[in-house]
Structure 1
Amino acid sequence: MLHAAVEEVRRAGMPGLFVEVRDGEQVWRGAAGVADVGTARPVTADMRHRVGSVTKTFTAAAVLRQVEGGRIALDAPIGQYLPELVPGERGDAITVRMLLNHTSGLAEYLPYAYPSLKGFPVVADTRPDSLDDHRFTRFDPVELIEMGVTAPAVGTPGGDEGGAPGVYSNTNYLLLGQLLEQATGIPAEQCITRDVIERAGLRDTGFPTGTHVEGPHSRLYEAWFGMIDPPRDYSVYDMSWVGPTASLISTVSDLNRFFRALLAGDIVSPSSLEQMQRTVPVVSQEGRVIAYGLGLHPLEGTAPGPGAFWGHGGTVWGGGTLTMTRDDGRRQMSVAVNMQRWNGLDPEGRPTPHPIDGALADLCRVAMYG
């Protein structure tokens, strides 16, 4: 069933994907399609991959480790630590917890760093030109944070009396990267590597040291809702545009290993894990309201509580990842795909359903419950 489900995603139009599913001690790895549409080089299940916002779970775990050590307080205002980055009343009102669960009200910096995406999240008002313009741009995280902090707020810190949900924003996690550096005296990527990646015993996971993915990997094809046709390879890219919010490179096996250890209480303490699993409503980048904790959330189709699948999804230009682990740690799936934003747009400029969407949903169902 798993092999057929993976093949169906390829037949639906995905160039290549690779998966690891675990059920207790049983492990299934599979791959379908190509890593390079020009040479027909096949994908393999052990390839390294840019995992996008799955990085946030690693960053959140590193912050919780510092909370356990008494160097950061979850409900302290960020202005106490980084007054120059979030000054004044906002710095006093926004707490570390609000950054972790996206209830700070801080706007997304990306449309300001990438001018052709200025209309986002209204996709029809965007163009993909900036993706090429910034392929080798070295961004300063402080400058990116300033773009998000000075942009019009997208909500009230902590929510408002009407119960409006938080809004997912990468600005929050760039600030957490600066917070880790302030608390530890070393770059956030070093801190996350030391306290989380090495603690979990991950051998094929790390932050990029240049514009290439080291080791066996796939090309990454970006379609930007049909505006890039044929889809263009963005596997070579300077990932400073996301840093500790979404630049991590890993494998599907390492992701399963990490989330199994996290949910077992081996990365952060059980009380910290409980904090990570305390969810609030947040509007995702796709415009859906989801339950979101501290860098961790229950996946679609499950709710917090026994039997929930916890994890995170992630995208970069051309690449996508989804990882999910049942709360008892026994059932897991991590999947990587090498094309993004495959949907077309309807006359109103909204993404239209695509066969890949249904095939991926079927794969997740088989992996979770099959």
Structure 2
Amino acid sequence: MSMRIVKTIALCLAALALPASGQSPRASVPAAPIAPAGATTPADTPARSTGGAQLTATDVDSWLDGLMPYGIESGGIAGAVVVVVKDGKVLTQRGFGKADVKTGKRVDPAATLFRPGSVSKLFTWTAVMQQVQAGKLDLDKDVNAYLDFTIPPAYGKPITLRNLMTHTSGFEETAKYLITTKPEDNRPLDAVLKRWVPHRIYAPGSTASYSNYGASLAGYLVERVSGEKFDDYVQRHILAPLGMRHSSFAQPLPPALAAGLARGYDVASGEPQKFEIIPMSPAGALSSTGADMAQFMIAHLAQGGPLLSPQTAALMHATANTPIPGLPGMALGFYHEDRNGLNIVGHGGDTNWFHSDLHLYLDKNVGLFVSFNSSGKAGAAHTLRGKLFESFTDRYFPQPAPELPTLATAAEHGRLLVGHYVSSRGSLTNWLRIATLLGEATVVLNDDNTITVSALTDAAGAPKRWREVAPWQWQEVGGDDRLGALVKDGKVVALAPKGIAAIILFLPAAASLNAGWIVPTLLAALAVMLLTALSWPIVALVRRRYGYRPSIAGRPLMLHRATRLTAWIAVIVAGGWMTMLAVLGSNLAALDGRLDIWMRLLQLLTLVAVAGTALTLWNTWTMARSPDRKRLATGWTVLVAISAVYLVWLAFSLRTMTPGLNF
């Protein structure tokens, strides 16, 4: 499997959740009035901050004109919307590129709807906090108290709303029916959640692990205690009070809104894609214009505006969990993105085709929203949206970064970090464990005592280098990114860069999931099986060509053929699972049940391979005891048997043989 496919798989497993950046602490939120939709501040009104460029409509527009058109054109991105709010008003809202490439329809920030993916969760969390404020939900109560089905017990601890809002519920990742294009898959929220409760792989409150299921469960709690369907609740209690008339969680969209929806693309030159349906709607089903998203930002910047009381808004924006000391903290639903000494909260979101970010500068009463309707070449939208956030912050709120010396402990601590790490956001109890294995990150200590983390690369795809500037804190060499580690009893138990530390951690890989030895051994075993499989027809053709008739017959011949057949099955099964992952990497909409029959077929073939492995071991025993055995042939047969046993173990270890079809 190529590294490109592995990276694509990792990206898809993070769909609806890719953050641009994130950090920690917070302070009070300044009050500001709610402005009507479309209101703007005069272009010559300066920002209240000092230093850097003045935050005016004129300057922002000029800056965006120098960044966005080139970025979307060179990146192969169809279109984008960017909105900036300040002091309770819209400072500027801009559309770039095309909403529909074929018709040439341009992006209109007031009328073109985008799909902001997991930014939708902020509406879900806001709804939750409304019900907390009303006394109908308790952040620290067992969620089973509100449900009409049961989250099975695990780890001796209940899951609470606080766990759900900080992504510490312990649920493993879900992929099936995450995104679909079939309207019939858009079932009621309760049916979606009851179809399958994901396994809990961490104790509640112990590990940051982003969960779409957890967010959707929170949305269902709102539905349960309010007596209103989730989509209706958001419409009546969030969208309508803010005047967000061009926004909806409905799927498909009502005709009046559907006409304004931007088409989604992989790249601008590609074909437009079908409307994406998110069955777990509270996790990412929103469709909205840039102008409407401005009103949502203004409300939160105004200490909750008409949605929440100032006390509830302050609680929601405050740090509730800090997975890595000194790095990003998680608020209740928002994650912190603090930069340049500022208190910033936000959220990112991705579907297959739309990619978005929302940032609230709480200290400055400023908000920034961006959304793209295509990934672009080599994921250019992800690079551009990150650049937009960093450049905006540095331009209008600059802060010189101190030059910190490298610590004397760099080599010692670097050595303790060396190894293989898996993402905390992944699947461990089903076949997607394969993706967890192949997506591992490796940490290497360099000769100059800097470290390199394979999964953390720059815009050019080159691994970043990091030097230790504080105990268990590393600074990007030549950049301003930060990496931190959590250490207990002298052992590294987690590490993460500041951009994702609030919601996803890198955890040391267990021996049974360590790609450092599993992958090389797997490749060696497959090479043995492939050579064995190919030798069968090749030898047969050679024998036929020269009229040679081997003396082997009877049971030895049967065992010989069973060994070759087992080799073929092993190669086919391995290729089948790699194909399944490639399909997952190309389009999450394929995970709508259409792969079930192929999954069952691969499992059936694996069972045949198990029986074949037993025959292979029998064949090895028979050859080893034969008086006229040949050393080379016997040695190869032993190698084949070992390879077969290893592949059978790996099939079960990677959970490809689960009785259920949920993942």
TM-score by length of 2: 0.45
**Counterpart Cα distance in 2 of 1:86 and 1:44:** 44
Tell me, yes or no, if structure 1 residue 207 matches structure 2 residue 249. yes
- Number of the residue aligned with 2:69: 7
- 2:346 aligned with 1:298, yes or no? no
Q: List per-residue Cα deviations over 1:96-151 (Å, max 9, x = no partner).
A: 11111111001232x2336xxxxxxxxxxxxxxx856x4652234334434662x3
The CA deviation string for residues 142-166 of structure 1, in whole angstroms up to 9 with x for no partner, is: 34434662x332321111xxxxx31
1:42 is displaced (CA, Å) by 2.0
Give the distance between the partners of 2:269 and 2:155, measured in 1 at CA. Answer: 44
Choose which of 186, 192, 217 in structure 2 pairs with 1:138: 186
Closer, same or farther in 2 for the Cα pair 1:99/1:73, shift >3 Å? same
- Does the aligned pair in 2 maintain the 1:166–1:281 contact within 8 Å? no
1:365 aligns with 2:365: no
**Rg (Cα) greater in structure:** 2
Encode CA deviations 1:9-31: one digit per residue, 9 max, x unaligned: 21222111111123445622222
Q: State the 1:95 CA deviation.
A: 0.6
User: CA 1:154 to 1:144, structure 2 compared with 1: closer, same or farther past 3 Å?
Assistant: farther
Tell me, yes or no, if structure 1 residue 280 matches structure 2 residue 327.
Answer: no
Q: Provide the rounded CA distance (Å) in 1 between the counterparts of 2:343 and 2:155.
A: 35
Question: What are the within-5 Å matches in structure 2 for residues 220-239 of structure 1?
Answer: 220-222=264-266, 231-239=270-278
Counterpart secondary structure, 2:82: strand
Q: Which residue of 1 aligns with 2:11?
A: none
C-alpha contact (below 8 Å) 2:81/2:95 kept by paired residues: yes
Please tell me whether the aligned partners of residues 113 and 246 of structure 2 are also in contact (alpha carbons under 8 angstroms).
yes
Q: Counterpart in 2 of 1:123?
A: none
* Counterpart Cα distance in 2 of 1:297 and 1:140: 29
Q: 1:20 aligns with which of 83, 86, 90?
A: 83
Q: CA deviation at 1:281?
A: 4.5
Query: Is residue 73 from structure 1 mapped to residue 138 from structure 2 by the alignment?
Result: yes
**Match for 1:19: what amino acid?**
V
**Alignment correspondent of 1:268:** 308
The separation in 1 between residues aligned to 2:219 and 2:209, in whole angstroms, is: 19
Taking a change above 3 Å as real, the CA distance of residues 233 and 155 of structure 1, as seen in their structure-2 partners, is farther
Counterpart of 1:334 (choices 369, 372, 377) is: 369
3-state SS of the aligned residue for 2:231?
Answer: helix
Deviation at 1:328, TM superposition (A): 3.6
Match of 1:152 in 2: 199
Letter in 1 for 2:146: Y
> Corresponding residue for 2:464?
none
8 Å CA contact retained: 1:106, 1:172 = yes
- Aligned partner (choices 294, 302, 319) of residue 354 of structure 2: 319
Q: Which runs of 5+ in 2 are unaligned?
A: 1-62, 397-663
Cα 1:358/1:173, change in 2 over 3 Å: closer
**One-letter code aligned to 1:78:** V
Closer, same or farther: CA 291–144 of 1 in aligned 2, 3 Å: farther
**Partner SS state of residue 29, structure 1:** strand
Return the letter of the residue paired with 1:82.
L
SS at match of 1:268: coil
The alpha-carbon distance between structure 1 residues 262 and 356, as it changes in their structure 2 partners (threshold 3 A), is closer
Which amino acid in structure 2 is aligned with residue 138 of structure 1?
N
Q: What is the CA–CA distance in structure 1 between the aligned matches of 2:234 and 2:156, rounded to whole Å? A: 24
In structure 1, the partner of 2:545 is none
Identity rate of aligned residues, in percent?
A: 24
1:317 is displaced (CA, Å) by: 2.6
SS of the equivalent of 1:74 reads: coil
| 3-state SS in 2 of match to 1:167 | coil
With CA pairs under 8 Å and 6+ residues apart, which has the higher RCO, 1 or 2? 1
TM-score, structure 1 length as denominator? 0.77
Give the direction of change, closer, same or farther, for the CA distance of 1:91–1:177 in structure 2 (3 Å limit). farther
Q: How does 1:142-181 map to 2 (within 5 A)?
A: 142-146=190-194, 149=197, 151-159=198-206, 165-181=207-223
2: CA distance, partners of 1:198 / 1:91: 42
Instruction: State the alpha-carbon separation in 2 of the partners of residues 355 and 56 from structure 1.
Output: 24
Give, in whole Å, the separation in 1 of the partners of 2:218 and 2:155: 16
Matched residues, number: 323
Quick check: 1:102–1:169 contact (8 Å CA) kept in 2?
Answer: yes
Runs of at least 5 residues in structure 1 that lack an aligned partner in the other structure: 115-129, 160-164, 224-228, 284-288, 345-353
Q: What is the CA RMSD across the aligned residues, in angstroms?
A: 2.9
- Matches of 2:65 and 2:241 in 1, distance apart? 32
- Quote the offset at 1:209 in angstroms: 4.8
Structure 1 residue 215, shift from structure 2 partner: 4.1
Q: 1:307 aligns with which of 342, 346, 358?
A: 342
Report deviation, 1:40: 2.7
Partner of 2:289: 251
